[in-house]
Structure 1
């Protein structure tokens, strides 16, 4: 095999030529502005969002009827607690405070007292909010208690469709 010109000139001491790569500078990406924008967005969404997670109840959708202002009525909320346990009843808009005791007689007396106080405060309306999974017999029992008081308008809350 014939030798190349370089191999002839270098003789037996021929070595491969190694080229060094130029050192590259480390590229630093400044992420401080991106972090600032991220925190500003986080603060914006925290300030503008409504924190009603614990108060929400899942209402059935509306088919007919008209809306009313809950601030002009006594709101009674019936929350679903599972298939085996009775629903919890709250004398507030949502799951706020402690529920009424499970004894039906105590529930009846406390609901009637709350209705009397509401009428005395100039609110002759009762808005019943019940979650979708609450059985009808529980809602009917509460409606019977509400209807024992004369002069009270009863409303049942539903989810309004657009």
Structure 2
């Protein structure tokens, strides 16, 4: 009789178990993989730093508007080694290598140049460089000029022909 009770108790236990869903071996749940991919994407977008100095080189000029250097304030940008540039005035003298001092010297120089050309009603700044200059350096000089001189109508970029 004890064996009958054991058999009944085993049957009762089997009745209370939920049936297991059988999964095909061919199926794979990729939801966690997608979650991780989006988390990594969000992480790299949030942690990345955009650096405009690493963008690229200025393309060669193929055509453009003829602007006289005599009617504009001219700033030369020359390469001085890897990732370094030298800013020069039209007379060939260099601006300071310290960026803060360079900014004040650049503003003072352009103010003086524009005052000498304002009699001819010209209000242009020309930035001259060559192919070794990065776009970031030209943009930095343009930003300094744009922030300091709101009345400048145009800033022209000249590229040396080869």
The bucket for the TM-score relative to the shorter chain is 0.5 to 0.7
User: Match for residue 114 of structure 2?
Assistant: 119
Q: CA RMSD in A?
A: 2.2
TM-score by length of 1: 0.55
Q: Deviations over 1:50-106 (max 9, x none)?
A: xxxxxxxxx95323421111110111000011115x20100116xx23x11111111
Paired with 1:133 and 1:72, the residues of 2 have a C-alpha distance of: 26
Q: Deviations over 1:15-73 (max 9, x none)?
A: xxxxxxxxxxxxxxxxxxxxxxxxxxxxxxxxxxxxxxxxxxxx953234211111101
Confirm or deny that 1:72 pairs with 2:67. no
Q: Where does the alignment leave 5 or more consecutive residues of structure 1 unmatched?
A: 1-58
User: Match for residue 154 of structure 1?
Assistant: 155
Q: How does 1:8-23 map to 2 (within 5 A)?
A: none
Greater relative CO, 1 or 2 (CA 8 Å, sep 6+): 2
Three-state SS of the structure 2 residue aligned to 1:62 is coil
Q: Where does the alignment leave 5 or more consecutive residues of structure 2 unmatched?
A: 1-57
TM-score by length of 2: 0.55
> Retained in 2: the 8 A contact 1:79–1:87?
yes
> Retained in 1: the 8 A contact 2:131–2:160?
no
Three-state SS of the structure 2 residue aligned to 1:157 is strand
Runs of 4+ in 1 over 2 A off after TM superposition: 158-161
Higher helix content, 1 or 2: 2
User: Match for residue 134 of structure 1?
Assistant: 133
1:92 to 71, 90, 93: 90
Larger radius of gyration: 1
